Amino acid sequence: MLVNRFSMAAAAIALASLVSGVAWAQAAKNWKDRAEYDLFEAARTATDANKKLEALNAWAQKYPSSDYEEERLLMLTQAYQELGQAAKMYESAEGLLKKNPKNVQGLYYLTSLTVSMADTSPQKLDAGERHAKALLENVAAIPKPANLSDADFKKQLDGLRLVANTTLGWVAMQRKNYAAAESEFRKVLELTPTNAQVSYWLGTVMIAQRVPEKQIQAFYHFARAGHYSGEGAMPPAGRKQVAEYLQKIYTSYHGDESGLSDLIAMAQKSPMPPADLEIKSKEQIEFEKEEKLRKENPKLALWLNVKKLLTAPNGEQYFSSSMHNTKVELRGYLVGQNPPDRPKTLVLALSDRETREVTINLDAPFRYPAPRGTPLNFSGVTQSFSREPFMLTIEAQQDDVQGWPPPPTIKKPAR
């Protein structure tokens, strides 16, 4: 699910002072004549992108070979950028790299266009990876302009690295190389912690690796992308889509929404989850409940496990092969007795205090009834089983039923 394409426009503006200045007065370059210079000036000073493009085309047509061809190609790329013509922009940036394979502007534009154009063809992915790696290699060779402080210079170099790492991560994600994509997206979030789109991508590639620990971290990154609303947040429609997706997969994993609001609150404060983040799966929660029940009420735990097996699709087969004529020891609550005055057949609820689940046929009746809800411990031999309605029938000795109350006291009439 791709919520929105990553925009490089803000990064382009921030990097302008570092990479967009053109050394028009280099000693080794000369204008062929005044007319060429005038065409350059017409392109440079044009405030309308179409007029700029018109001047650049006229310059290229009249002076196809120029000492300033590299600069002309850069201006052409920027004109297409202003016009929003990505395909033409890509084409002119490729020409710029053919002229100078180390041109940082050309590498920057081609790297960023890889993601914004979202062309996932193998050729474009290969080219995007190549350009991004070349951009990273050339970043180290950029000299610091005299008018930039060390802090501003580092910030702008980091902006170039941001574009390169984003593209490398995006390319790896398209190729389903999720571990490599995760590594690159982590680098991006170190540079721009508020980049919620990359938080979403990071969650996507982590959950795709099908590693339980990473699945939990992925929930955190989806919570960040779907609910963070500060600088760098996704558009509202995208946040809504991710938030709904998170709710769906979190509930499926955890069993309900408990803890989700705490996760969301945590994710809005920090781009990375705490090292000890824990979200229990519904299977883990159920196992812990069963373990606790085994310690506190082993007979009920045994019964719930037996009933689970009996109510499964192959319950009758399980009873026939594994339970028929088997002695069991259980505990339940009396919910029925017959005959009412001298009961020989007892009906018990085991899972709760109302659901009729076990019928006990005694060898001899009790001489008096017991109150409904009387707790009884019993042992006996299983005889039959029905799934619909559910009922397990047991034969037992009267002495094997423990907890039957004493006979009621009959008060003698006063003399």
pTM (2 d.p.): 0.75
User: Residue 365, preceding bond cis, omega within 30 degrees?
Assistant: no
Check residue 169 and give its pLDDT. 98
What's the gap between Cα 84 and its chain centre?
32
H or E stretch covering 392: strand 391-396
What are the DSSP calls for 348-367, one per residue?
EESSSSS---EEEEESS--S
pLDDT along the chain (415 residues), means of 10: 41 48 55 94 94 95 94 95 95 95 94 96 97 94 88 92 97 98 97 96 97 94 96 96 97 95 96 94 90 88 92 93 94 96 96 95 96 95 94 96 86 66
How far apart are alpha carbons 225 and 6 in whole angstroms? 13
Q: Give the tens place of pLDDT for each residue, 106-149.
A: 999 999 999 999 999 999 999 999 999 999 999 988 888 888 89
Check residue 7 and give its pLDDT. 43
Q: Give the tens place of pLDDT for each residue, 22-80.
A: 344 444 789 999 999 999 999 999 999 999 999 999 999 999 999 999 999 999 999 99
Angle at 334 between CA 330 and CA 338, to 5 degrees: 115
Q: Specify whether the CB–CB gap between 389 and 368 falls below 8 A.
A: no
Q: Which domains does the chain have, with CATH numbers?
A: 9-267 (1.25.40.10), 297-402 (2.40.50.140)
Q: Looking at beta carbons, which pairs linking 228-232 to residues 24 or more positions away fall under 8 Å? A: 228/194, 228/196, 228/199, 228/267, 228/268, 229/268, 230/194, 231/194, 232/192, 232/194, 232/195, 232/196, 232/197
